[in-house]
């Protein structure tokens, strides 16, 4: 007895374009077929999972008018008509070509359930429906991807002096994966700076899976880098129609990448500015909170007047320099003039009067902002 089976379907979208059913042959009918789909909104079949109705089922979606009956559901993989499967209500299915021995023949709904997985079953599929009235309709071909990811990926990185350096090796992936990595800005919705294509190396394995790798690629973070920058890596597979299937993602950042500091102190023409700690520079420019800036006369110059040294502290909240407690002088108060050979002063040849470290009471280092 022929079954009266009705599957309700809804248009599916690829981008902004609504896919339409395939062509119909025969009399007037409400029959609509396609597109073929994976259950539960799956986007691919996983090679690493066991074949099952949840993982390796391809559904033939069709819609009938009341009273119409299905005589046959038929499938074709690829082109040429050699790899087929067909099913009629109340009978055992039949498979040919590459689908023979790979399909569950005892289903009662005409769906194509793969019981074994191989790379060559990653292909295009279409299904069609014959009605008892003689009407026939087929769906458009749809690509069904079988993805295999074997082994694990490795990612190493280090962040020093506002330079982020990373290395990566992807797992072996079939089909060939699509990868991108670099400094990403959500506000720009794009990579601000990527790992260049010349740094990616491709390894093709004997089973046609592919590994990609890059080594020691560095990125500099400075005042021009977007504020929301993160390092982002993404791996996926791109179908022939351009649809990207995401498989893996990695994000890394550092609080130092967004740190702003007090702008560097501007001394006079004849003064030097010394910072403690010396490694107080920050990635976005300036010096970090509590950095001490000491303004002294350059070598070959000496102070004129009562101010011989100016010490200031960076206030990380206001990002401004304030005189150290107990001192009121500012860089403008320090006047440095040249020293003559007899110990007097004149405007001309330089010499040095620089306070010793003991006098300053500080250790002067060089700071690079992180």
Q: Is the pLDDT confidence value at 144 over 80?
A: yes
Q: Whose structure tokens read 């194509």? A: 112
Q: Residues 220, 111: one domain?
A: no
Q: In sequence order, which residues have a C-beta less than 8 Å from that of residue 243 and are 6 or more positions away?
A: 14, 43
Structure tokens at 138: 């087929």
Would you say the C-alpha torsion 311, 316, 321, 325 has a positive or negative sign? Answer: negative
* 85 and 171 co-located in one domain: no
Specify whether the CB–CB gap between 218 and 165 falls below 8 A: yes
**186 and 117 share a domain?**
no
Same-domain status, 239 and 218: yes
Distance CA 215, CA 38 (A): 38
88 and 20 belong to one structural domain: yes
Whether residue 124 is found in the same domain as residue 243 = no
Calculate mean pLDDT across residues 197-216: 96
Give the number of domains in the chain: 3
For residue 325, give the DSSP letter: T
Work out the average pLDDT over 102-107: 96
Domain stop point among 144, 173, 196: 144
How high is the pLDDT of residue 12?
A: 31
SS3 of residue 221 by DSSP:
coil
Provide the whole-model pTM: 0.74
Residue 85: pLDDT above 90? Answer: yes
3-state secondary structure of 360: helix
* 20, pLDDT greater than 90: no
Range of the domain at 185: 148-255
């Amino acid at each position: 007895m022929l079954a009266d089976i009705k599957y309700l379907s809804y248009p599916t979208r690829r981008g902004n374009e609504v896919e339409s059913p395939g062509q119909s042959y025969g009399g007037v009918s409400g029959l609509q077929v396609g597109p073929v789909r994976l259950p539960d909104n799956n986007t691919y079949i996983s090679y690493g999972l066991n074949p099952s109705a949840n993982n390796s089922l391809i559904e033939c979606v069709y819609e009938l008018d009341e009273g119409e009956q299905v005589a046959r559901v038929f499938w074709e993989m690829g082109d040429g008509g050699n790899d087929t499967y067909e099913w009629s209500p109340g009978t055992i299915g039949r498979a040919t070509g590459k689908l023979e021995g790979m399909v569950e023949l005892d289903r009662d709904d005409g769906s194509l359930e793969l019981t074994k997985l191989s790379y060559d079953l990653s292909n295009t599929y279409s299904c069609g429906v014959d009605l008892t009235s003689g009407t026939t309709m087929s769906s458009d071909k749809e690509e069904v991807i079988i993805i295999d990811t074997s082994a694990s990926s490795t990612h190493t990185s280090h962040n020093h002096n506002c330079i982020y350096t990373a290395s990566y090796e992807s797992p072996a992936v079939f089909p060939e994966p699509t990868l991108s990595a670099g400094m990403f800005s959500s506000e720009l919705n794009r990579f601000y700076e990527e790992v260049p294509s010349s740094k990616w190396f491709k390894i093709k394995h004997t089973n046609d899976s592919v590994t990609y790798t890059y080594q020691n690629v560095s990125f500099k973070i400075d005042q021009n880098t977007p504020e929301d920058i993160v390092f982002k890596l993404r791996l996926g597979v791109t179908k022939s129609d351009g649809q990207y299937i995401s498989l893996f993602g990695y994000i890394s950042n550092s609080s130092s990448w967004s740190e702003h500091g007090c702008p560097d102190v501007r001394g006079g023409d004849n003064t030097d500015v010394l910072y403690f700690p010396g490694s107080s520079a920050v990635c976005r420019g300036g010096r970090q909170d509590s950095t001490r800036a000491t303004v002294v006369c350059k070598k070959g110059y000496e102070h004129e007047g009562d101010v011989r040294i100016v010490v200031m502290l960076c206030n990380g909240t206001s990002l401004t320099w304030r005189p150290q407690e107990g001192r009121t002088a500012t860089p403008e108060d320090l006047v440095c003039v040249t020293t003559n050979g007899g110990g007097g002063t004149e405007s001309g040849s330089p010499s040095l009067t620089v306070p010793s470290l003991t006098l300053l009471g500080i250790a002067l280092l060089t700071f690079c902002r992180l």
